[in-house]
Amino acid sequence: MTYSTTFDYGIRFQNEAGYYFKRQFIALVIGIAGIILFLQFDYQILRRISVVVLVGTLAMLVFVLLLGQF
């Protein structure tokens, strides 16, 4: 479906009919690899560091709120 709707844009702007199809395919492969790696991750580790992550996230939000005007 990606190829059939974007091959003319690929030819017009990138001089390659399958340009957008290749980009979508690469994103698919990266996404599937990420899912497989994430499934191997022990989520119990997150439970131990969740308070630290929460405090760090809040600190960064306050930092952006105070200094984000530059």
How does pLDDT run along the chain (70 residues), one tens digit per residue? Answer: 777 888 788 888 888 888 888 999 999 999 999 999 989 988 888 888 999 999 999 999 999 999 877 6
pTM above 0.85, yes or no: no
**pLDDT score of 53:** 93
**pLDDT score of 42:** 86
In terms of residue numbers, what domain contains 8?
2-67
**pLDDT score of 33:** 97
Cβ pair 7, 23 in contact under 8 A:
no
- Structurally, how many domains does the chain consist of? 1
Cβ pair 6, 21 in contact under 8 A:
yes
- One-letter amino acid of 53: V
Cβ pair 20, 2 in contact under 8 A:
yes
* Cα separation of the two ends of the chain: 43
